[in-house]
Amino acid sequence: MEPYVGESSVPSVFADVSLAQFRESTNYYVISHSASQSYEFHTSASWLTNEGEALFAMATNVGSVVLIKLAPMGIQGIVTQHELRQATVMQRLWTGLVPAVMRRGQETIDTTLSLVMNPVGQDFFVFCVCRDHKLRMWSCKNQTCLASIELLEFLPDGAELSEAPAVGHKIRQAVGSDPRNLIIGVYLGFPDRNQFLVLQPTLEDGQWRLLHIASIEGGKESTLIDFGLTMTHLWAAWSTSSGETVAKFKAYEGGGPGSEGWSPVFLSSSHSSDDLLVPPFLEPREAYMDHIFQPGKFSLHSIGRALNLYHGQSGGEGIGSLSDMSQISMDALKEETMAIIGNDIQQKVGGSEMTQEEYHNLLQQSWSKFYACCVQYHEVANKAVGVMLDQATGMVVIVKKSLLSVLRPCDAVEHLYLSPIGSCVAEDFANVPFVTDETSLCNDLIALSDCIKIVRGKLSPIIQLSFENDLFQLVRPEEVAHQIASDLLGLGADTDTPSRDAQGTVFTAKLSRRLQAIQDMDKTIQTMLAAIDLAEGNPESLMLDEDEPDAQQHLNASGLFTSSSAVDLLATSFTQMSHTRLNLLRDLLILQCAMLRLGQQASISQDISIKIQSELIPDTANLLLAYYMLYYMSGCVTTSVHTNSMESNMRQLAALEITDASSGLGQSLAASQMGGMSPTVIHMFLRGVGGTQVRSQISRGGYLSQDMCEMWTGVLLPAVSKLAQLIWPISANFLFSEFLMCRCQYTQLQECIRLLNPWCEWNAGSRQFLLGHSLLNSGEPHKALSCFLKVANRLAREDFLLNKLLQTEELEGKKLDILYYLKVIRLLEQFSVPDLVISLANTALSVADDDDPNISTLWCKVFKYHLELGHIDEAYRAMTANRDHERRHDCLRQFVVVLCERAQIKQLCQFPYVDLHDEVVSIIESRARTVDLTTHNYYDLLYAFHIYRGNYRKAGGVMYEQAMRLALEVPTLSGLQQQAKCYLAAINALRLVHPNYAWIVKPVPTDTQPSREDMMGASPKRTYDGDELEQHVKRQVTVLELKEIEKEYLLVSARLKLANHEQDSSHVTGISLSADETLALLVQAGLFDTAVTVCKTFKLPLNSVFEGLATKCVKLSSNGPDDLTWKWLSANELGQLNPSRDVGPADIAWRLLRAYLIKYDQEGDHTYYKCVVNRLLSVGFHLPKWLVNTYKKLHAAELLTLYINYDMLEEATYLALEYIDAVMGKGTEYFGLTTPLRATAPSVWLPYNAIDHLSRALRDATNEPLLQKLHLSLQNKLRSYHNQAQQVSEQMTNLALQRYQQGTS
């Protein structure tokens, strides 16, 4: 038994049973045999007591019944075995004398042929029907025979049958709601007749007797397979001489159907071994595969065995053992089937050439051969072996070799159509609502059904298949019916001229007689159509009830029809019901067309003909098309849905704000596998919301309050009817189509809509919407948009569109349309079809009222997707057309961001931005200040925007702000390069402005101050806790002029040169450097030209430049050049130094130093010479001759002081001696003196302090003879100088006296 799947998870009765339990010694018993006692069992019965004990009664061939009682499962107990036997003295003597081996195979006259077991009070009775036509009652408690009753006494001619042999006597029982109410059914089979007896055991005066209830004559032409009985009916399955199974039933008590005789059971037609009729629009492979693998047609086991047989007959090997086939999936079996048959066809074709017709015939032969194999194995599996009746529910099941056939009740319409001609009587429809109590109407309905059956008898399978194919191809059924009616009557299609068809004449006469018997043709046909119409003429009545059912009723129905078998049963019953009614309507439509042709010949008046032509035929055709849709959908196999598709569908439903009507698709699909077959959409619907609604309506209808014994007969038909009503297209209910959409069954949904669109007006708009949704998911968006546009004029008229899709109370036409268009736009947005969104939004804008609040949303959609597609002009127009300021601002922000990301700066700047200029600037500024500079650079956009509009000062300010942020946020080489470009752009922009306005305000970080909303109701001076607030002082505005910006650019440019000059640029790509820091790095790198420029710009002394250059000269002279020497030398201007190959890098460096000293030395201030000499002397380097000679001319005294400071006494002495000589007139030109010491010349002087320090130092160096010698020379030179100075002084005195005297005279 399969587990239930649904709201109630009720386990199977075998859920806790395992193979290990079967193997436990306490749970089975082996019957032992002895030499004198050996049994051959041929029938048995069993019972499980309330205490868990198992009773087994087994009939032997010697007339006894062996009774065995086992202890409850899992409990160690004593197994008792008794033999129930009623024997005479001769039988006992025969048994004792003749060995068991010799008696084996010989049955006694009282051998039990069939037996049943049932509890009666505190005892268990075994009822046996024996070969001697007697029924024996055994007590299991006392092992005694309570009664032995002659069954022939209940037959009128029983005495004549006493010698007749028993041919398959059987006994069955039925128990009512009261266990004491026991009914025994006995089948007595004789060679020339058979009889059923219905008996009831009763206890009278301490003796058990059988109360005769009924005697029923059985069929003579058939062989009984099995029978069963309920408290009111007897059911029997027969096998005809041709091997077909026939089922019948008869009421033996209480009247009702079958009370007058045996009533037939209309079994579903078995598969014909004839070739399958292939529609002209299908090839044989497709037609046969669809039919063979249609759910419920053949089991996978039968198909697998048939494929083995076919392959074996074709000379191939089988596909595997039967155990392997039990594990094979349907998809794998399909592939195997097509491969094997395809290979067989290929072998038959070989290398020969064939016409298309010959190849088609070959396909037909191969596939029909395989189909015949499938039918053969299906017939074997379909062989009936027994009848099973469920006393609790009234369900009747025919047990077959490999299948179970469930017998369901027929409704009145099916009974009218399926019953043989003339077998229906008015009493059969006594309780049918649509017949009412009018006897004449009931007789007319029976006569009409006979006429329909006459038509059905004339329709060949080819005609029936062609009719369905025409319906599938959307041909109007009236047209097909007229043609068929003309052919049946033997008339031309367009004329009433009779043909020579004798069969048509006979058919016409027979049909005319039957039609003449109908008194009220109009009412009869209308009544028939009303009975078939599931909406009963009121489609609004099929709307789902939103009220919650009673809790108890819901609990009672929660597990109803939830198992896989029950779902399959409901789906199959639905298929049978829809197909039966489809065929009835087809035959009724053909009959009506025939009536129009027959006219007065069939007593059809002109008024009736007009009524039939104008009303009845269209109504019949619509009902026929509706049932064809039901029947077609019952055979539609579900499509497996990938998880990604399901998730996408859930997102689409969320966008539409549609809640899924059911859940657990994965569990439903997993539980719906029917022996490997894929379930149909009806199975899926029943496992989902369809089953829930069916149970809910059954509960509300009060069907579950009936007697449990009538559950099957009282609930199944209403359940099938409720299911059909949920799918019925002529209804306001739209649940089934919505379910297909929610379950991603798009192909099935499209076929359903295709069949309904040409004729069904109900939910036409809703179907168009679902068709559009399905086409979207099928990759056809343009067709989908066309479907969506057709829905707008039906929004207010359909429940699904108004209440499920739009979920609004708005009923005004245009506003409702706009809400719908917005929903569709949300759906289209899930599929990346911006062109369709734009088209639909423009359509909505063209019909919207000016005051519609959703117009701004539509303009936003148009703007968004024009922008996405790159339609910049259209996006700008849509943005400016939006009257909602907030939304327009949002669009503008998106417009700016997208164009900037696409680098469409020119297009962005060219738009006029009427009334939006300040907003554009604000947006770009906001984005520029909040977005990471390394990802998006909005400053360039803002700069271009201002430049395009001639606002150069703001453009310069933007570039300066970007440079500042780059310095803080992007401390890399690329950031430094970008800074330089920004400074240059700022400088260029400001140079285009009048000098009086060439300034900007330096950007400063803004303080985070509380918003106005946060300060509402709060003290401006204190917090909520009473603490004093810090007063925010506004920052002073810093104004930057062009010169200051140029200075900053110079520093950045210098850092760039450093970065490009040195391999490791990490120390120059950090945070901003000051002028002093930059100067130090430049000098260190050897970029002396740039360093001098920085010094001049920032008015810094050049001391560090000369010191650095002097240091590098010393290193080159001392250590020689390295790898970087030429690099830093070439970085400076060497053009005027006359570099050549003969000049080494050290010489070039000294020349550069000499050039710098000459260029930057200032008259009267020779600081840089002193700086260089000081640096050279500090490192102990001998001063170059050119430097000494130049310095002697410029400031010999300072050079002397430096010599003394660095303790270079020898050099200082020589310099002092030369200096004294120059003063005294010897070598005056070498020291820059214009005149020597003369009385008539200007005064000259000596650095006496320095010479005194030198003289003292020489005098103190007593241990060094050279210095002592130099000291002596210095002293002599000084004495000579002093002598000359005295002479010059005297001469100057005399000259002064003479000038005085001359002046006084």
- Specify the pLDDT at position 529: 93
Short-list 532, 535, 568, CA closest to 691? 568
Beta carbons within 10 angstroms of residue 732's beta carbon: 19
Residue tagged 């190959």 (tokens): 1141
Provide the token pair at 1160: 């930057």
pLDDT digits (tens, 9 = 90+) for 1284-1305: 888 888 888 888 888 888 877 6
CA-based torsion, 973, 979, 982, 983: positive or negative: negative
- Specify the pLDDT at position 282: 83
Contacting residues for 303 by C-beta, under 8 A, at least 6 apart: 292, 293, 333, 337, 374
Q: How far apart are CA 342 and CA 314, in angstroms?
A: 12
Q: How far apart are CA 692 and CA 445, in angstroms?
A: 36
Lowest mean pLDDT among 138-142, 240-244, 333-337, 804-808: 240-244
Query: For residue 970, which phi and psi values (nearest 5 degrees)?
Result: -125, 75
Query: For residue 34, which phi and psi values (nearest 5 degrees)?
Result: -130, 175
pLDDT digits (tens, 9 = 90+) for 14-43: 666 777 777 777 778 888 765 556 678 889
Q: How far apart are CA 308 and CA 301, in angstroms?
A: 11
pLDDT digits (tens, 9 = 90+) for 819-838: 999 999 999 999 989 999 99
pLDDT digits (tens, 9 = 90+) for 1222-1269: 888 888 888 888 888 887 777 788 888 888 998 898 888 888 888 889
> Helix 689-700 vs helix 711-727: angle between axes, to the nearest 10 degrees?
130
Provide the token pair at 10: 């009720």
| 554: DSSP letter | H
Task: Answer yes or no: is pLDDT of 551 > 90.
Answer: no
> Which stretches does DSSP call E strand in 301-403?
384-389, 396-400
Say whether 1002 sits in a helix, a strand or coil: coil
Greater confidence (1138 vs 694) lies with 694
Say whether 643 sits in a helix, a strand or coil: helix
Q: What is the DSSP string of 219-245?
A: -SSSEEEEEEE-SSEEEEEEE-TTS-E
pLDDT digits (tens, 9 = 90+) for 1163-1200: 878 889 999 999 999 998 989 999 999 988 888 889 89
Q: Please write down the long-range contacts of 1173-1177, taking CB distance under 8 Å and 24 or more positions apart.
A: 1173/1199, 1173/1202, 1174/1202, 1175/1106, 1175/1107, 1175/1110, 1175/1111, 1175/1114, 1176/1110, 1176/1114, 1177/1202, 1177/1203, 1177/1205, 1177/1206, 1177/1208
Q: Which residue(s) pair with 115 in the sheet?
A: 128
Q: How far apart are CA 1244 and CA 1233, in angstroms?
A: 8
Contacting residues for 533 by C-beta, under 8 A, at least 6 apart: 623, 730
Query: For residue 966, which phi and psi values (nearest 5 degrees)?
Result: -60, -40
For residues 528 and 435, the answer to whether their CB atoms sit within 8 Å is no
- Specify the pLDDT at position 821: 94
Proportion of the chain above pLDDT 90, given as a percent: 33
Provide the token pair at 316: 């191939």
Q: How far is CA 248 from CA 168, 392, 794, in A?
A: 19, 21, 52
**CB-count exposure of residue 547 (10 Å: 0-12, 13-18, 19+):** exposed
Q: How far is CA 218 from CA 422, 805, 1094, in A?
A: 22, 62, 128
Q: How far apart are CA 395 and CA 382, in angstroms?
A: 19
Provide the token pair at 705: 């309050």
- Specify the pLDDT at position 758: 94
For residues 182 and 175, the answer to whether their CB atoms sit within 8 Å is yes
Task: Answer yes or no: is pLDDT of 326 > 80.
Answer: no
Q: Binning pLDDT at 50, 70 and 90, where does residue 203 land?
A: confident
- Specify the pLDDT at position 1003: 81
